């Protein structure tokens, strides 16, 4: 899918395209809708009178007149409008355009009067792009399609920024949607290298011997069962000017998670190709950094591996030595993410950054707590938590704060080692975050995206599959520093 977004000077009625979209707000046509109505001899207002369509948010009525699709999009009430609603409206428009096969679409700049032209164009453009996203590489019949959207009376700059942000999200979606036979740790490292080459970033990739030389015993234990060797990926973005801050992002990069000898049941193993969605979010963020070039230095660290079974695979009861020197008793091989992250976080800490943020599909427990639309947010500092949360909110990504409860730390005490990798079932996401905290210095934040990283059904911001969750949150946050 080749998606292009343009802002048009004219109102919807005057823009090109065989599909024209206007909103229905508080049950009536908007000004753009009235103009379109007049141009098509009152067909829209007649349609509104005809039946029960009242323009509830999420509803839609599409007519055909003079060989043009006219879409009435329900936007709900005028009160309480948010950018989220506009972004989701954009997704709904894209979905309809793809369904109908429209290739050029003119869209009203919904709620520009309420949100301001900038913010409205930004959210709409983002929605149109994210809603047009499809993963079709492996569909033999799929033809490459181009779709162009015109945002009526839009702001060019805002549209361009939204396009770059959405493209970075789409890149992360692509990576996490790739099947595990294609996207091995080696292939993920290759993708990181290619990104760095194309966008002028630094990339350093380490293989098993070098990882061993660093003493990353926890990471290596997880990777040991697979024939596909691990890779440690270290990306660096340096701004032209002296950096205002130095930050490290650490993404969980399990290209597949079978659970290992603590094997996952069939249904739970499904979609574990996306257990590298944290890594994908980091790579997507680096694509966005290369575009927006904010004055911060950013390190991206990914411990890429597969959690599989073989004669060499790690088993429970093993004690592994992390790069930090701390030893860990493995009590469940399915809690592998925290083992790989322990070493990746410690490695990232050697850069002595001003803040470290990990992003990971870490626990089923976070999915139970918050569902598939919300990520769990842990932070050692309130300010850091709030800055990340605000970045997410502006971009339609919800992060909800969870406690790093110190009283739970003792649940991770081991009889034989410094720590064990799993405590009790209750409060599992918290214990996982507390485990990670043992390997970093403050300030530290951790996003558990196990819920929102992968959608089993089409959802508010796109089709079923990887969501790219985290790219826009992290990018917004980094741009705000």
- By annotation, the residues acting in catalysis are 264, 338
Q: How far apart are the first and last CA of the chain?
A: 34
Rounded CA-CA distance 359/397 in Å is 14
Where helices occur in 270-363 by DSSP H, the ranges are 277-292, 337-349
Comparison of 108 and 334: residue with beta carbon closer to ligand BES: 334
User: Can you give the length of the chain in residues?
Assistant: 481
- 151 Cβ partners below 8 Å, 6+ apart? 5, 6, 7, 8, 107, 109, 121, 124, 125, 128, 159
Where helices occur in 106-216 by DSSP H, the ranges are 112-115, 117-132, 156-177, 185-199, 208-213
When CB distances are held under 5 to 8 angstroms depending on the partner's kind, the choice from Zn ion, ligand BES, none that residue 365 binds is: ligand BES
Of the residues 19, 422, 471, 474, which one makes contact with ligand BES according to CB under 6 A = 422
* Closest CB 52 distance from ligand BES, rounded Å: 40
Of the residues 336, 343, 395, 397, which one makes contact with ligand BES according to CB under 6 A = 336
Task: Please count the residues of this chain forming the interface with ligand BES, following the rule CB under 6 A.
Answer: 16
Please give the backbone phi and psi of residue 80, each rounded to the nearest 5 degrees, phi first: 65, 35
**Residue 275 found at the interface with ligand BES (CB under 6 A):** yes
**Tokens (6 digits) for 184:** 């091995």
DSSP string, 454-470: EESS-BTTBSSEE--TT
Peptide bond into 443 cis (omega under 30): yes
Asked if residues 359 and 345 have their Cβ atoms less than 8 Å apart, the reply is: no
Asked if residues 277 and 180 have their Cβ atoms less than 8 Å apart, the reply is: no
**Residue 419 found at the interface with ligand BES (CB under 6 A):** no
Rounded CA-CA distance 308/331 in Å is 16
Task: Please count the residues of this chain forming the interface with Zn ion, following the rule CB under 5 A.
Answer: 6
* Closest CB 268 distance from ligand BES, rounded Å: 7
Please give the backbone phi and psi of residue 420, each rounded to the nearest 5 degrees, phi first: -115, 160
Footprint on residues 357-416 left by ligand BES (CB under 6 A): 361-365, 367
Footprint on residues 438-457 left by ligand BES (CB under 6 A): 450
Q: Give the position of tokens 């001003």.
A: 354
* Closest CB 179 distance from ligand BES, rounded Å: 17
**Residue 306 found at the interface with Zn ion (CB under 5 A):** no
**Residue 297 found at the interface with ligand BES (CB under 6 A):** no
Rounded CA-CA distance 108/128 in Å is 12
Of the residues 55, 74, 337, 470, which one makes contact with Zn ion according to CB under 5 A = 337
When CB distances are held under 5 to 8 angstroms depending on the partner's kind, the choice from Zn ion, ligand BES, none that residue 235 binds is: none
Where helices occur in 224-359 by DSSP H, the ranges are 266-269, 277-292, 337-349
* Closest CB 259 distance from Zn ion, rounded Å: 5
H/E stretch holding 417 = none
Q: Give the residue from 454, 477, 137, 84 showing the smallest Cα distance to 278.
A: 454
Find the helix packing angle between 156-177 and 471-480, rounded to 10°: 130
**Residue 29 found at the interface with ligand BES (CB under 6 A):** no
When CB distances are held under 5 to 8 angstroms depending on the partner's kind, the choice from Zn ion, ligand BES, none that residue 428 binds is: ligand BES
**Residue 257 found at the interface with Zn ion (CB under 5 A):** yes
* Closest CB 361 distance from ligand BES, rounded Å: 4
Q: Give the position of tokens 């234990």.
A: 221
**Residue 332 found at the interface with ligand BES (CB under 6 A):** yes
* Closest CB 230 distance from ligand BES, rounded Å: 16
Of the residues 151, 187, 328, 335, which one makes contact with ligand BES according to CB under 6 A = 335
When CB distances are held under 5 to 8 angstroms depending on the partner's kind, the choice from ligand BES, Zn ion, none that residue 422 binds is: ligand BES
**Residue 60 found at the interface with ligand BES (CB under 6 A):** no
Strand-pairing partners, residue 60, are: 73
- Determine how β-strand 296-307 pairs with β-strand 245-257: parallel
Comparison of 128 and 272: residue with beta carbon closer to Zn ion: 272
When CB distances are held under 5 to 8 angstroms depending on the partner's kind, the choice from Zn ion, ligand BES, none that residue 332 binds is: ligand BES
**Residue 428 found at the interface with ligand BES (CB under 6 A):** yes
Q: What is the CA radius of gyration of the chain?
A: 24
Of 108-116, 202-210, 235-243, 333-341, which segment contacts ligand BES by CB under 6 A?
Answer: 333-341
State the binding string over 132-161 for ligand BES (x if CB under 6 A, else -).
------------------------------
Comparison of 85 and 420: residue with beta carbon closer to Zn ion: 420
**Residue 329 found at the interface with Zn ion (CB under 5 A):** no
3-state SS of the chain: helix, strand, coil percent to 5? 40, 25, 35
Of 3-11, 57-65, 335-343, 450-458, which segment contacts Zn ion by CB under 5 A?
Answer: 335-343
* Closest CB 363 distance from Zn ion, rounded Å: 9
| Residues of this chain that bind Zn ion (CB under 5 A) | 254, 257, 275, 334, 336-337
| Residues of this chain that bind ligand BES (CB under 6 A) | 257, 275, 332, 334-337, 361-365, 367, 422, 428, 450
């Amino acid at each position: 899918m080749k998606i292009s977004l343009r802002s048009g000077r004219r109102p919807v009625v005057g823009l090109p395209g065989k599909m024209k979209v206007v909103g229905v707000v508080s049950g009536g046509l908007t000004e753009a809708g009235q103009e379109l109505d007049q141009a098509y001899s009152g067909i829209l207002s007649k349609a509104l009178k005809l039946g029960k369509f009242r323009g509830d948010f999420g509803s839609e009525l599409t007519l055909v007149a003079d060989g043009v699709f006219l879409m009435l999009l329900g936007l709900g009430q005028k009160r309480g409008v948010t950018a989220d609603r506009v972004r989701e409206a954009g997704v709904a428009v894209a979905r309809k355009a793809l369904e109908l096969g429209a290739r050029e679409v003119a869209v009203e700049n919904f709620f520009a009067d309420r949100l301001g032209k900038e913010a409205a164009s930004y959210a709409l453009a983002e929605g149109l792009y994210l809603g047009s996203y499809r993963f079709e590489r492996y569909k033999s019949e799929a033809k490459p399609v181009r779709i162009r959207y015109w945002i009526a009376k839009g702001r060019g700059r805002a549209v361009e920024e939204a396009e770059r942000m959405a493209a970075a999200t789409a890149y992360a979606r692509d990576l996490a949607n790739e099947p595990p036979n294609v996207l091995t740790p080696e292939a993920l490292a290759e993708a990181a290298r290619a990104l760095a080459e194309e966008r002028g970033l630094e990339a350093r990739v380490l293989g098993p011997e070098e990882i061993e030389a660093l003493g990353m015993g926890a990471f290596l234990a997880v990777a040991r069962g697979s024939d596909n060797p691990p890779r440690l990926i270290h990306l660096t973005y340096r701004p032209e000017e002296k950096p205002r801050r130095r930050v490290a992002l650490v993404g969980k990069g399990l290209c597949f998670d079978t659970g290992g000898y603590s094997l996952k049941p069939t249904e739970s193993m499904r979609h574990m190709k996306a257990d590298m969605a944290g890594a994908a979010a980091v790579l997507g963020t680096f694509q966005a950094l290369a575009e927006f070039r904010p004055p911060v230095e950013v390190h991206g660290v990914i411990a890429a591996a597969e959690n599989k079974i073989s004669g060499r695979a790690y088993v429970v009861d093993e004690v592994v030595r992390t790069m930090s020197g701390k030893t860990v008793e493995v009590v469940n091989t399915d809690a592998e993410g925290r083992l790989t992250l322990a070493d990746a976080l410690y490695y990232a800490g050697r850069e002595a950054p001003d803040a470290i943020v990990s992003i990971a599909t870490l626990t089923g427990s976070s999915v139970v707590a918050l569902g598939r639309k919300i990520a769990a947010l842990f932070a050692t500092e309130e300010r850091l938590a709030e800055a990340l949360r605000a970045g997410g909110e502006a971009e339609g990504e919800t992060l909800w704060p969870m406690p790093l409860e110190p009283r739970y730390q003792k649940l991770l005490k081991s009889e034989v080692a410094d720590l064990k990798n799993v405590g009790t079932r209750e409060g599992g996401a918290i214990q996982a975050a507390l485990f990670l905290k043992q390997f970093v210095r403050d300030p530290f934040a951790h996003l558990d995206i196990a819920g929102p990283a992968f959608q089993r059904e089409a959802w508010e911001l796109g089709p079923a599959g990887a969501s790219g969750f985290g790219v826009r949150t992290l990018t917004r946050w980094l741009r705000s520093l």
